[in-house]
Structure 1
């Protein structure tokens, strides 16, 4: 019992980092998952991890409260980067919806509670199922565990003023938009060709009302192209997972001062 009380400050620090990860981490941050379940999972993960982390035994003092704030910031920041990379899927869906005429219809995202594009939410759900099928959630938990190799438990600060950290986050933001464009370009490009064809038809056959014909044609073409390129989209999503894990690792390197 004395050993458990001795390691309680370290356990609390690990618990704060793990639960902060769960606030924004894809898949674990869904509102539909009960808060009690998240806290319980975070506690048991912290309990398992505390005996494998090589760190001095902490004492609860003024310095300790700074460590708690640091742990919370680390968890939220790295979880936000992971969510930022996966949000490329919803951005791609927004591009597609804007072209096919679904931009006016949104659905509620269960993760954030905000409105999300229809196609983006559809692709995001498929991507999460794909993430589960390839055990990507295990890799996310591995990222939590191995974060202590980059950011020690007793490190008292995060170098937010570091220029390289700000540049790294901006590059991650840029990569997210590039991946979203790559995912959306097959459908958006096909719809651009449909718009050109409808423009030619409108000039050659003035009796045909292209505003009535155009919307169902664009929706039909969008669904056909989506079915055709779905395998390619999943290939891009798998590369997105790799990019997400590499981005998390690089950010933890910068936070740890490596």
Structure 2
């Protein structure tokens, strides 16, 4: 019984980090994945990690409560930093929808349960399929496994409360915003030129109802440009996945005091 308690204590710590990770990480946190399946998968993954990770015996005492809180915050932080990077896809779709005039037709995203732009939802579905095709879900699971090399389960954060963590989150958000702008700039710049041409046409031909003619023209030009740059979009999404994995690793290093 004395040997069972430390093992059960270690399992609870690992289960806390894994389940918190699944709450926020892209793909696994989506509402399309049933909660029961997430709990079962998290429990099985934690059970496997108990035997894959060398954790010394842990006593259930007052310090154990702090370890549980630390594990929950660690799992949430790793998942949130990945979600921030992946949100660049939704931001890019919002930029494009605003220029196309689709911003008034936001729909409910069944994956996240939040309002989402039309093209943002399309890009998000494309990114999920691409992530699965590239075995990105395996890399995400590798991330939670390797997190124990940087942040041991039996130790509190050496870097908790340092300013570097806040600076890293802000820098990651800024980088995600820049990537979203790079994804949207081909279509946004083209639509700016279309708006400029329509404005000149409206001044040259006042009899023409430019609002009636301009809306379908902007939509048609947007889809043409979108098809033309789809290969670039996919390449940027691949780069975004690399940035997501690197950001997760850097966050683990920071939380581990590196």
TM-score class, shorter = over 0.9
- String of CA shifts for 1:11-55, please: whole Å, max 9, x gaps: 110011001000010000011211110011001111111112122
Counterpart Cα distance in 1 of 2:220 and 2:257: 52
Alignment-derived partner of residue 113 in structure 2: 113
Counterpart Cα distance in 2 of 1:85 and 1:180: 10
Alignment-derived partner of residue 25 in structure 2: 25
- String of CA shifts for 1:108-133, please: whole Å, max 9, x gaps: 12233110111101101000100000
The runs of 5 or more residues in structure 1 that have no matched partner are none
Matches within 5 A, 1:62-77: 62-77=62-77
Matched-pair contact (CA < 8 Å) for 1:26–1:83: yes
- String of CA shifts for 1:65-86, please: whole Å, max 9, x gaps: 1100000000001100000000
Alignment-derived partner of residue 49 in structure 2: 49
Alignment-derived partner of residue 234 in structure 2: 234
Bigger drift between 37-46 and 105-114 goes to 105-114
Instruction: Please say if 1:246 is aligned against 2:243.
Output: no
Matched-pair contact (CA < 8 Å) for 2:157–2:257: no
C-alpha root-mean-square deviation of aligned residues, in Å?
Answer: 1.3
Counterpart Cα distance in 1 of 2:53 and 2:230: 42
Alignment-derived partner of residue 14 in structure 1: 14
Counterpart Cα distance in 2 of 1:136 and 1:157: 28
The two structures have a TM-score, normalised by structure 1, of 0.97
* Shift, 1:164, TM fit: 1.3
- String of CA shifts for 1:148-167, please: whole Å, max 9, x gaps: 00001111236342111111
Counterpart Cα distance in 2 of 1:178 and 1:2: 54
Alignment-derived partner of residue 127 in structure 1: 127
Report the 3-state secondary structure (helix = DSSP H, G, I; strand = E; otherwise coil) of the residue aligned with 1:38: helix
The runs of 5 or more residues in structure 2 that have no matched partner are none
- String of CA shifts for 1:229-256, please: whole Å, max 9, x gaps: 1110010000000001000000100000
Alignment-derived partner of residue 34 in structure 1: 34
Bigger drift between 101-110 and 65-74 goes to 101-110
Instruction: Please say if 1:102 is aligned against 2:102.
Output: yes
Report the 3-state secondary structure (helix = DSSP H, G, I; strand = E; otherwise coil) of the residue aligned with 1:242: helix
Matched-pair contact (CA < 8 Å) for 1:70–1:158: no
- String of CA shifts for 1:161-186, please: whole Å, max 9, x gaps: 21111111111010010000000001
Counterpart Cα distance in 2 of 1:177 and 1:190: 20
Counterpart Cα distance in 2 of 1:166 and 1:72: 18
* Residue correspondences, number: 258
Counterpart Cα distance in 2 of 1:110 and 1:207: 44
Counterpart Cα distance in 2 of 1:227 and 1:158: 49
Alignment-derived partner of residue 182 in structure 1: 182
Instruction: Please say if 1:208 is aligned against 2:208.
Output: yes
Alignment-derived partner of residue 93 in structure 2: 93
